[in-house]
Structure 1
């Protein structure tokens, strides 16, 4: 990992959060070199004890906030909710604003394949909401 030419660009973050360094570098390289993302920045998220990657998609100019993760990392609905909450409390405004409703996971598999999952934060419906919507009474 340290021998890769791009490692120097992420060295500080990799040393700061070593448990997530491998997936950070892999997702960063994929976004920059394979996906041709533009305006790519690594953002430290101390409350999550990891870094996120922010960048512009080259085709649609949408800004993405990507959390690098290994496929073996356990995620639950509660952990996802905690992640959205923690991001909203981070000091960096890019994390506060960018993760208010949507984040993308860059999930690195054992064979180095990366799958991107877009997640949106939503509020649970009240039990009567679905029925009211279906009947047009709400």
Structure 2
């Protein structure tokens, strides 16, 4: 991981949160290289003991927040509440669920009860 060009962007948080380092590394590279997000920045979520990502999808002006995590992790409502607060209460966040086979599934999470669009 340390030899990869993207490691410099993540080097402050990878040693600080080793349990979530793989998910952060994998998600960062997916967003930056495969999905071509712009203005991608790494954010320290101390309350959740991990790094998160903020950036823009191509042709989208809004800044989106992504929290990488592993499929094996247990998450709680309190954990999500803390994440929303630390990210500045965005309208929604994306959980990037990473699996052992390098797949990533993104789930859009909104605070409270939100009716899906028709």
Question: Given the two structures, how large is their TM-score scaled by the length of structure 2?
Answer: 0.86
Q: Cα 1:89–1:97, aligned 2, differ >3 Å: closer, same or farther?
A: closer
Q: Cα 1:38–1:122, aligned 2, differ >3 Å: closer, same or farther?
A: same
Unaligned runs of 5+ in 2: none
Unaligned runs of 5+ in 1: 125-138
Q: Report whether the alignment pairs 1:96 with 2:92.
A: no
1:6-21 aligned within 5 A: 6-21=6-21
**Larger Rg: 1 or 2?**
1
Q: Cα 1:111–1:88, aligned 2, differ >3 Å: closer, same or farther?
A: closer
Runs of 4+ in 1 over 4 A off after TM superposition: none
Deviations 1:91-124, CA, capped at 9 Å, x for gaps: xxxx1233xx411011111110111110111159
1:39 positional shift: 0.6
User: Could you say which structure has the greater relative contact order, defined with CA pairs below 8 angstroms and 6 or more residues apart?
Assistant: 2
Instruction: Point out the structure with the larger helix share.
Output: 1
> Match for 1:83 among 74, 79, 85?
79
Question: Given the two structures, how large is their TM-score scaled by the length of structure 1?
Answer: 0.75
1:62-81 aligned within 5 A: 62-75=62-75, 79=76, 81=77
Q: Distance in 1 between matches of 2:85 and 2:109?
A: 19
1:116 corresponding residue in structure 2: 106
Number of residue-to-residue matches in the alignment: 114
1:43 corresponding residue in structure 2: 43
Q: Distance in 2 between matches of 1:89 and 1:122?
A: 13
1:5 positional shift: 1.6
